[in-house]
Structure 1
Amino acid sequence: MGPPKNAARTISQEAFDEVVKENMEDLGMDPTEALEDAIQTLTLQGVDLSGIVTCVPGEGSVKDNPVLQCLERLSQLNSSPNSQIGDEIVDLLDKLTELCKAEGSGNAAIASRNGGVEIVCSICSKIEIGCLRAVFLALRALASLLHDLQSREAFRASGGPKILVGILTTGFENIDIVSSGFSVVAAAATSNEVIKELFMELKIDELILQVLSVKREVSIESLYDAIRVLLTPDDNRVLASQVYGYARNFAKIGIAGALVESVRGGLSSSSLVSASIALKAVAVNDEICTSIAENGGIDAVLLCIDDSSEQGNKTVAKVCCSLLCKLAGSDANKNAIVEKKGMDRLMKLSSRFFDDPSVLQEIMAVISVLSLRSPDNAAIAIEAGAGELALQAMQKFPAAQQMQRNSCLMIRNLVSRNAANRQVFLTILLNSGIEKHIRMAKQNHVSCNEAATDALRDLGLDDYNIALRDLGLDDYNM
């Protein structure tokens, strides 16, 4: 891997301070003006100032910054002969975390740029697992520091993955250690293919399964987030990510099945969302999707969809529909979903959330996949009301670009191999204006062009590649 494209230029603290000093001495600026000019000038030059302490000269020195003071004292205590993890280190770790989590402060960048990651990793390597509060606070501090490529590379260079996996292996039964530890895994592996690979070499997948197998009264949301990050190809420095292979290995050792148990285990709303996203990340091929169904995954997801409808939880509804759409990629799963009254349950959900196009677009995506190359399923979808859903939603939300596109895709799949469905559209829905709405989507949204064209063509309409305005129907603009 090479350096990221368009990487910002950097500057040292000393060089920044010198620019401010020159503004004051050579240009006669007052301290505040000199500081503001330095920041503005360097920013315009494309210099990354994250991690630079910007203080007005004369109102305190850089060394007075609380983050740097905290790091200096931690370094002193950590490097002293026969150093032990005492109360002062614990308090400093807690303070460092709070400073780094302060929104908009830039403290995390200041800390990581001044050796914070290396110091905390060193402390983590020395803490006895029995010192639960110290371990927890050290991991929490580490998670708050890992925010960019530089900090993650410092974590890697400091042996962070091996140190972390060692802590988690020993303390996997402690909820606080596991929760904070997997927060570090997620933070460290984000956009970093090398760290993902290191974690896999350290058998993080087996550790994840071990943690999931422990029955707990509360779920560990950070664990699900870690799975998602480990299986997401988000490092733009590499041409080919290995995460697809990782996902297959996760499924092979039983993580997919364990996640199904989590999804149907009565999780809190936020944990259910995280677990569903994690399960979707594992479901990368037909074989895995089928195995998830065999482990009760379809039943679990449909039940969650029913619950989200009853509780009015839009977030859960969208995420579970997205997961169901992924599982429906398997032809065997399509039939199972339909046999379990999946179409009716989806239409019930659409009625519950008809005021939210972001939910409707996910429902339409599921119906599209269920109807793809399946005339029988398409017929069931029409009977359940999918055609009316398309018409009413397109009419109500003309500006909802993704929903309009998904509606066009759904219409196409409903009629492409089903002459009876096509007749329903031609004799009933076309009279209600569905053609105009499809052409309007084609005209007003570039992303809808292909899907709308396909829908018009498969409906058997003439001039299917012509937009609304070209038919002399400009009065149907948004």
Structure 2
Amino acid sequence: MEEFEMASTEALNEAVEQFESQGVDLSCIVKAVPAQSSADQQEDHHVLQALNSIRSGNDLQIRSDIKLFTEQCSLGFAQRFLAAQKGAYAVILSFCKNSETQDAVQAGLLAFAALTDGQPDLLDVDGNQFLLDILKKYQDSSSVMCAAIRTVRHCCLKHEQNRQNLIKGGVLPLLTGAITQHSACAELLKEASTALRVMTFDDDVRVTFGNAHEHAKMIVLEHNGLKVLIDAAKAHLNNTTVLSEICATLSRLAVRNEFCQDICDLGGLKLIMTLLADNYDSQDLARQVLSAIRAIAGNDDIKDAVANAGGVQLIVMAMNRHMGNAAVCEQGCACLSMLALRKPNNCKMIMEDGGAMAAVQAMKTHPKVVNVQKSSCILLRNLVSRMRNYNQPILEMGAESLITQALQNHKDCNDVCKAALRDLGCQVELRELWTGKHGGITN
């Protein structure tokens, strides 16, 4: 600022630009101009000022400081990281434990949730037990439950051990119970269904394998999760945000053939198809509904049920309506490829309703999105694997050049692209990596 006579904002932007051009990761750095005190010394960042006030302030002042701390942590990961480095976890947990009123508990939990967003490692044994105690104590308060469940979700995302500890402590019946008890509260339904979904993730790179599948089974078999979620969705048919979250969670729970059938028997399939028909203008809801259809269509009987209910036409309509959205195109192609698998009659419907053309158009629209290219190739391959008469119509759409382009541009598409080209009758180099004839096994 002094040497180049720059304004503070200009100097900050210049510094950020220089570091980023050198490949420096600034995600943990607060990018703000330090304020100057009257003694011409730099003041602490706002999040640290709030934290220090919480440590030493009186009851009336602490309430506003907690709110300021939450707002500052919500600005970005750098603020949360800085606060954690300065001991914020112990301070916030202590405030939560010592809070005597419901409003204070809620304020503390919101700060807790904001601090742990992206920092699940902060949660310790005391914090784990505190969250379980709060969920049990304040079951009648939707606002407190909502804040507590949000904290649980943040602490479980990308942290397998926290998930396992909370589940062992009995968090699953508390989550499903909250959905049932507060079925009229849209915000709580959204938080609780998302928290249940996080329990089925296998996203912690530090563990060899997680218990995602077991957790999904527990939610369904021990806590009646499918019925709880489907009933909740039926109570909020006009709220696309809640419906999106519930559909996303249902797709994570459809891990067994019988679970897919259970969703159908509980009215879930009819509900999902109705949602797609009535809300296909909503990109997010369309994406999540397609994801749910894809998951439950792993059951062969449900493949037929979806197709017979006009599902193919609805899926193609959603893809064409949101062709510019890569996620919708990916899920749409994945849905259709699942419906086409081992089902010649469904392949006929997909061809007649423009599914193949939609897949080709998706490949043209999103040439750099590997998942779109992959799911489109799988769909085209499934369409012709048992119905060779569709080879020529699909090739006339320009599929060969698009698949070849995907093969050249995306290494992850190598196998699916070659399989699609092979089944379409195109020239493709297939390498035989091992014949099993070279040498014998020796002790």
Q: TM-score range by the shorter chain?
A: 0.7 to 0.9
User: 1:123-165: CA deviations, max 9, x gaps?
Assistant: 222223xx2211111000111111444xx344314x1121112
Residue in structure 2 matching 1:186, options 146, 153, 162: 153
CA RMSD of aligned residues (A): 3.1
* 1-structure distance, mates of 2:132, 2:296: 31
* 2-structure distance, mates of 1:146, 1:241: 21
1:241 CA drift (Å): 0.6
* 1-structure distance, mates of 2:364, 2:86: 56
The aligned residue for residue 223 of structure 1 is 192
Output the TM-score relative to the length of structure 2.
Answer: 0.82
User: 1:92-137: CA deviations, max 9, x gaps?
Assistant: 2112112222347x33222222221111112222223xx2211111
SS of the residue 1:277 aligns to: helix
1:348 CA drift (Å): 2.5
User: 1:276-314: CA deviations, max 9, x gaps?
Assistant: 2222222222222221222111111111111222xx211
* 2-structure distance, mates of 1:99, 1:246: 34
- Change in 2 beyond 3 A, CA 1:463/1:277: same
Fraction of identical pairs, as percent: 24
Output the TM-score relative to the length of structure 1.
Answer: 0.77
The aligned residue for residue 71 of structure 2 is 98
What are the within-5 Å matches in structure 2 for residues 221-300 of structure 1? Answer: 221-252=190-221, 253-265=223-235, 266=237, 268-300=239-271
What are the within-5 Å matches in structure 2 for residues 274-423 of structure 1? Answer: 274-309=245-280, 312-395=281-364, 397-418=366-387, 422-423=388-389
Between 187-196 and 446-455, the greater mean CA deviation after superposition: 446-455
User: 1:171-191: CA deviations, max 9, x gaps?
Assistant: 122221121111101111122
* 2-structure distance, mates of 1:76, 1:142: 18
* 1-structure distance, mates of 2:361, 2:30: 52
Amino acid at match of 2:389: Q
1:77 CA drift (Å): 5.5
User: 1:242-285: CA deviations, max 9, x gaps?
Assistant: 12211110011111221122333315222222222222222222
Larger Rg: 1
Residue in structure 2 matching 1:463, options 419, 424, 427: 427
* 2-structure distance, mates of 1:407, 1:96: 47
Amino acid at match of 1:60: Q
* 1-structure distance, mates of 2:56, 2:364: 67
* 2-structure distance, mates of 1:139, 1:172: 15
Contact 1:387 1:425 in 2 (8 A): no
* 1-structure distance, mates of 2:350, 2:206: 43
What are the within-5 Å matches in structure 2 for residues 87-236 of structure 1? Answer: 87-103=60-76, 106-128=78-100, 131-149=101-119, 152-157=120-125, 159-219=126-186, 220=188, 221-236=190-205
Query: Where in structure 2 are there 5+ consecutive unaligned residues?
Result: 1-10, 431-443
1:392 CA drift (Å): 4.2
Residue in structure 1 matching 2:48, options 62, 68, 72: 68
1:65 CA drift (Å): 4.2
* 2-structure distance, mates of 1:346, 1:48: 39
* Number of aligned residue pairs: 408
SS of the residue 2:292 aligns to: helix
Contact 2:142 2:182 in 1 (8 A): no
* 2-structure distance, mates of 1:71, 1:431: 66
- Change in 2 beyond 3 A, CA 1:384/1:87: same
Contact 1:118 1:155 in 2 (8 A): no
Amino acid at match of 2:69: L
